[in-house]
Structure 1
Amino acid sequence: MIRMIKWCEESDSEVNRSIALLSGEDPDKWYPYGGIKGKDYCKNPSDAWPIIYANKIGLYSPEIDNNQWNAKITNPQGEWQAYSQSQLRAAMICYLLSREV
């Protein structure tokens, strides 16, 4: 049985780790255990933007009565959406969802 990860329930550090692994990075070498400064895709625009740009992730601001940002990827393989109070976290979750195909 395949276990689908509910990314919206995972911590930022787990989301960051999963993205790093998909990007070919080794998060085990990041601080505090390793000697390399880690990336924070969920909070740092300079870490997240290359992924947002390369995957054409659309970001949509929250509605007046809703504080959830919407991130969306549409491509020939499908369409994925994610919501979060943080626009970068929404984009990174959307990216991870698109990689579970």
Structure 2
Amino acid sequence: MKYEEMSDGAINLEVHYVANDTPRHHAVIMTKDYCNNPSDAWPIIIENKITIDPEGSAWKFDESSADWHYEDGVFNNVQCHNKPLRAAMICFLKMKGAECKN
């Protein structure tokens, strides 16, 4: 998936499915805004060891410190975006996608 092209609402829904291990065919009423609300996003950021680092006018996020690997070595994904929580959630989704492939 190209998460960078998705709306905040679509990312929020995808994060909800992945974080709560909810089957996609279940109807969901979204009450969380992972892309914009720190109280919703922060538990995921901490649990998955996602690093937040300001870089110029954008924020940089990576999970290079996370203690897991994929087939070719240590997983490392960097996202830069002016919306820090959105970028962190994209990192989370990419991490989980990489875990599922292994």
- Answer yes or no: same fold by TM over 0.5: yes
C-alpha distance after superposition, 1:1-28 (max 9, x if no partner): xxxx111111000100000001225883
1:29 positional shift: 3.4
Alpha-carbon RMSD across the aligned residues, in angstroms, is 1.7
Partner of 1:46: 39
Counterpart mapping for 1:1-101 below 5 A = 5-24=1-20, 28-30=27-29, 38-63=31-56, 67-74=57-64, 75=66, 76-77=68-69, 78-101=75-98
- Percent identity between the two aligned chains: 34
Distance 1:21 1:7 in 2: 14
Count the aligned residue pairs.
Answer: 88
| Matched letter for residue 76 of structure 2 | E
Q: Name which one, 1 or 2, has greater alpha-carbon Rg.
A: 1
Mark the runs of 5 or more structure 1 residues left unpaired by the alignment: 31-36
In structure 2, runs of 5+ residues without a counterpart are 70-74
After superposition, the C-alpha distances for 1:41-85 in whole angstroms (9 at most, x for unaligned) are 00000000000000111011131xxx2211100233111111211
CA distance in 2: counterparts of 1:42 and 1:53, whole angstroms: 15
TM-score by length of 1: 0.78
